[in-house]
Structures are given as C-alpha cells and as structure tokens.
Structure 1
Amino acid sequence: MTAPVGHTDKIAFLERHGTDALAHSGADLLAHLQGVHDLLRAWDCGDALCDAGLFHSVYGTEIFPTGAVPLELRPAVRELIGDEAELLVHLFGTVARGSIFDAAFDGAPFLLETRTGEHIGVTDRQYTDLAALTVANWLEQRPRFPESAQLSRAREFDEMRRHLPDAVRHALEQAYGFDPLTLPAI
C-alpha cells in the first residue's frame, strides 16, 4: 500500500507543471485550484473531492482548454490524489459543462455528454461530487467577474441545489440569494 501523499507534494507537482504561471480568471491557475480546494474543505467535503478540487482543471476543460498536465500523466496524478479524485478530475475535464447542468433537471440515472459528443453514465455520488465541484469552481472565481455576470446560470444552479451536500447548497443559496431549499427526509 502506498503512503498518502501530502498537500505540499501535490502543490509541488502543480508548480512543476506551471500552474502558478498560467493565467486563469484574473488570477493564476494554481491560486484558483487552491481556492476551489479550500472551499470544498471549508464545506467539509471528503478528501477525494477536496483533492479533485485541487486538480480539477489540470487536464483542461471545455471552458478552460489550456491544460497544464497532459493526459499521459493521469497515472502520476492518480498516484498523488487517488483513483476516486483523479476520476472526478478527468470527468470534470471531459464532460461538457452544460451537460452537468442539464443532468440536474433530468435527474438520475445521470447521463452526461462529453466534449466529443459521447454519453457516459455516472453514479449518483459521482454526479453529486461533480455538481459540488462545479459550484466550488464557480464560486471561487465569481468575485473576479463583472457584477453583471455574477448571477449567471441562476436557473441551472437553482435546479442543481437538490443534488448538493448541505454545506455546498447553503453556500450557493447565500451567493445567489435563493430561498433555502427544503429537501424531503430520506
């Protein structure tokens, strides 16, 4: 069994791949990655989701196609953050962002569309994690956007709330001014 990799080693890996020199949403990519990680940690998300937040766009995404880490290094990333976190990172980079929002309306079973037009199914848990990652990704960079854009995708985020962990949902409600959502007890 491999010993857990510390946060410092993960940051060093990201720095070796130039994330601190790559512009992203009015900051550098490393600052954004750390900010997403820190939001997820503050919301008491699990280690795998927090690590996914730290690496979420290193392969590039539909909206941020400039990846810092080539896909050939997926095994190295997996070694650093684990299988579950790396799969979330890969999904976050592969799936069309609109598909994550559309799935909030469609509900389970969750079928997402990739940027190449393929459809892939994800588990309820993977969708919840991708939704939380989408919220953290947006809320971290949102203050750096013009005020006119800060409430973008309100309808989609409103629908996504029912799929989010409580702390993530509350943060989204506060940011958008949504009335708190009351979910049925399970």
Structure 2
Amino acid sequence: MDVAELLEARGAREITHPGGTLLRHLFRVRDELEEWGARPDLSAAGSAHAFYGTDGFATALGDLAERPVLAAAIGEEAERIVHLYASCDRGFTHRRLADGAFKDRFTGLVREIPFGDRCDFAELTVANELDVLRHDAGLRARYGRALSELFASWDGLLSPRARAAVRAAFRTDR
C-alpha cells in the first residue's frame, strides 16, 4: 500500500485541517519540501508527518505499534523522521533545538539529537507551520510572530530555500 492509500484508508481525507483536509495538508507539506530541494526521505516524511499525531495536532492516523506499516509505505528513514517529529515535546524542544536538546513526549526522555536530525526536524516544522499559517489567518495572527522568532533562531538548521520561505512569509509581520 502506498502512502496515499494508507492515509486515505485511515481517514485523512475526512479530517478537517486548515486549507481543507489533513490529506491535502500532508501533501502540500511534502510538495513544499520537494520545492525546497529536500532529499526524498524528508519529502516522504512530509507526506505523513502527522501519522502518529503531534504535540500540536492530537489526531493520529495510526499508533506507534504500527511503525512497520508506515515504514512499508514511505520507507524506514522517512518513518524514522515522522516518529521523531511526532515524539517532540514542543514546549521543551523548540527553543533548545539549535543546541541539540530534544525531549520525547512519549517517554519524557531528554537527549541530544544529531545535527542532521535537527535540520530535518526544523525543515519539516517550517514547511508544516508555514502551510498552516497560509490557510488560517487566526492562527497566523496568534502565533505568527512567535514562529517568526523561533524560525530565525533555527536559521543555521534550515536550507537556503526554507530560510527564503521564512523571510518571505514573515516579511509583512515585522
């Protein structure tokens, strides 16, 4: 089963999300990552980044016991990125990510994650949040400034195209 079939079988087409449905959001995030030149595993992770739910979006399409199911659809490395993304305790990790500190919301464990994982996490987060802000003016008004500041602190983790997208997205907010 490919990722589109898996997501549809799990109801992603029926779940409301800014900009339409969760399914549309997931594929917009994947497409954004591809436009930025992300490697295939990161782009594939974008297509399923909310599969296990996240600290900011509790609705899950599958649980952690189904990691092999998602890996079969998007690849093991892409699934590992999705798991990392889903496991993030945002309140702890976001402001410490540039330094490598990561707290797992499932286990409560704090650890240092490698630079490459920090870059993947940051790039995926930026693609996700920019898509949400494009489609929900209320969320943009409420969280736009904080996200702009957060993403500026991640500048060294982002690809040149992601940095340009951040600058373009928040140009009018300053």
Tell me the TM-score normalized by structure 1.
0.83
Equivalent residue for 2:169? 175
- Which of 36, 42, 57 is the aligned partner of 1:49? 42
Q: How many residues align?
A: 168
Equivalent residue for 2:90? 97
The residue matched to 2:150 in structure 1 has which SS? helix
Equivalent residue for 2:131? 140
1:143–1:150 contact (8 Å) kept in structure 2: no
**Higher-Rg member (1/2):** 1
The residue matched to 2:154 in structure 1 has which SS? helix
Task: Among all aligned residue pairs of Structure 1 and Structure 2, give the percentage whose two residues are the same amino acid.
Answer: 30
| CA distance in structure 1 between the partners assigned to 2:7 and 2:73 by the alignment | 11
| CA distance in structure 2 between the partners assigned to 1:119 and 1:40 by the alignment | 27
Could you say which structure has the higher helix fraction?
2
Which of 146-155 and 57-66 deviates more? 146-155
| CA distance in structure 2 between the partners assigned to 1:111 and 1:143 by the alignment | 29
Could you report, residue by residue, the CA deviation over 1:4-55 in whole angstroms, capped at 9, with x for unpaired residues? x8xxx22111101111111223521101101100100111101000000001
Q: Which structure 2 residues correspond to residues 83-122 of structure 1 after superposition, within 5 A?
A: 83-105=76-98, 107=99, 110-116=100-106, 117-122=108-113
Could you report, residue by residue, the CA deviation over 1:60-117 in whole angstroms, capped at 9, with x for unpaired residues? 0111111011222110111221221111101111111234421245x2xx12012243
Which of 141-150 and 12-21 deviates more? 141-150
| CA distance in structure 1 between the partners assigned to 2:8 and 2:14 by the alignment | 8
- Which of 20, 23, 39 is the aligned partner of 2:32? 39
5+ residue gaps in structure 1? 179-186
